[in-house]
C-alpha cells in the first residue's frame, strides 16, 4: 500500500468513498484496491489491487455461500454452488461494479489511457473483489458484509440454482470469463447406421474437460458440456474426491511442517543446554 501523492488519487479516493458510503480509517487500503497494475509499473505488487483481489475473492465467496445457505434451506449442494458461481462470476461482478460507478474511480496507468481501457471489464470485476478486501481490512467483516449484501446479494434468486437448459451456452459463458471458448470434437461413433451412438469430447483450449454420449452429435455435445459444468462447479463425485484429497494433503503438509518445527525447536533447546552444561563444567574445573 502507498500514500496519496497526486490530485487524481485524492479525487478518486473521495469519489470511491462517496459511492461506497464508507469512510476509511486507513485510506491506503482503498487506494491499493482502486489502483490498476498499469499504474504501478516498476513498483511492488502490493501497491495495486492484485493482492487484495486474492483476499477479496475468498471473503466474497464465503459471504455469498453463507447467504445462499440460509436463504434456501431446501437446496442441495449442487444448487447452492450454482447460485454462488452465478453471483460471483466475472460478468456479474463487473456488471454490478459498472452500475455503481466504479469505472469513474479506478486509477489506470499511462499504458491503459487512450486505449479505451480494453481491460475495463476485468478491472471492474477485480476492483469489486479488492474493495471487499479493503473494507474487511479497514473495518472488519461488518462493512464488507454490508457492502456485499447491499450491492450483490440483493440479486440472488432460487432460479440461479436450476440446471441450465442449454449446457453448451452455460459452459461457453463460464469459460469466456477467462477468455476461453470451448470446442467440441467427435471422438467415436458406435453402432450400425440405423442405431448410432456418438461420443464427443469438450475442450478448453488444449485441455479435455469431459465427454458426453448421445444418439445424435448435438445430444452428445450437450451432455459433454453438462458434465464439464459439473466438474468446473465441483459437484461431481470425482471433483469432491479430488477436493477432499487436496484438503487431506494440505492437512498432512501442515502437520509435517509443525512436527519439523517442533523438532528444530527441541534440537535448539538441547544444543543450548549442552552449551550451558559445558560452560558449567569448565567453571567447576577452574
57 a catalytic residue:
yes
CA distances from 73 to 66, 70, 80, 233 (A): 11, 6, 10, 20
Among the listed residues 27, 53, 125, 129, the single catalytic one is 129
Q: Is the pTM of this model over 0.75?
A: no
129 a catalytic residue:
yes
* Alpha-carbon span 177 to 195, nearest angstrom: 38
Each residue's pLDDT, cut to its tens digit, for the chain (286 residues) gives: 556 667 888 999 999 999 999 999 999 999 999 999 888 877 776 788 989 999 999 999 999 999 999 999 999 888 898 899 888 888 889 999 999 999 999 998 877 654 445 568 888 999 999 999 999 999 999 999 999 999 999 999 998 888 766 888 888 878 877 778 899 999 999 888 778 899 999 998 888 999 999 988 888 999 999 888 888 877 655 555 545 544 555 566 667 777 777 787 888 888 888 777 777 666 666 5
Can you give 190-227 as a three-state secondary structure string? ECCHHHCEEEEEEEECCEEEEEEEECCHHHHHHHHHHH
Among the listed residues 53, 57, 138, 221, the single catalytic one is 57
The residues near 219 (Cβ < 8 Å, ≥ 6 apart) are 198, 212
Amino acid at each position: 500500500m502507498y500514500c496519496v501523492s497526486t490530485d487524481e488519487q485524492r479525487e478518486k479516493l473521495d469519489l470511491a468513498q462517496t459511492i461506497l458510503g464508507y469512510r476509511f480509517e486507513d485510506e491506503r487500503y482503498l487506494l491499493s484496491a482502486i489502483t490498476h497494475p498499469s499504474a504501478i509499473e516498476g513498483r511492488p505488487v502490493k501497491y495495486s489491487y492484485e493482492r487484495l483481489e486474492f483476499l477479496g475473492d475468498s471473503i466474497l465467496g464465503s459471504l455469498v455461500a453463507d447467504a445462499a445457505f440460509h436463504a434456501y434451506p431446501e437446496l442441495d449442494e449442487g444448487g447452492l454452488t450454482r447460485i454462488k458461481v452465478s453471483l460471483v462470476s466475472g460478468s456479474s461482478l463487473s456488471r454490478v461494479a459498472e452500475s455503481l460507478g466504479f469505472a469513474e474511480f479506478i486509477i489506470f496507468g499511462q499504458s491503459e489511457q487512450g486505449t479505451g481501457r480494453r481491460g475495463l471489464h476485468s478491472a471492474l470485476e477485480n476492483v469489486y473483489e479488492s474493495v471487499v478486501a479493503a473494507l474487511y481490512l479497514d473495518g472488519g467483516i461488518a462493512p464488507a458484509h454490508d457492502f456485499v449484501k447491499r450491492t450483490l446479494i440483493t440479486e440472488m434468486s432460487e432460479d440461479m440454482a436450476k440446471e441450465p437448459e442449454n449446457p453448451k451456452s452455460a459452459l461457453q459463458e463460464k469459460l469466456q470469463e477467462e477468455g476461453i471458448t470451448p470446442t467440441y470434437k467427435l471422438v467415436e461413433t458406435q453402432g450400425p447406421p440405423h442405431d448410432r451412438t456418438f461420443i464427443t469430447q469438450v475442450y478448453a483450449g488444449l485441455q479435455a474437460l469431459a465427454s458426453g454420449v448421445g444418439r445424435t452429435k448435438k445430444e452428445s455435445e450437450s451432455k459433454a458440456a453438462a458434465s464439464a459444468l459439473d466438474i468446473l462447479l465441483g459437484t461431481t463425485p470425482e471433483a469432491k474426491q479430488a477436493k477432499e484429497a487436496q484438503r487431506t494433503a494440505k492437512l498432512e503438509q501442515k502437520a509435517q511442517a509443525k512436527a519439523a518445527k517442533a523438532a528444530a525447536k527441541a534440537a535448539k533447546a538441547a544444543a543450548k543446554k549442552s552449551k550451558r552444561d559445558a560452560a558449567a563444567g569448565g567453571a567447576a574445573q577452574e
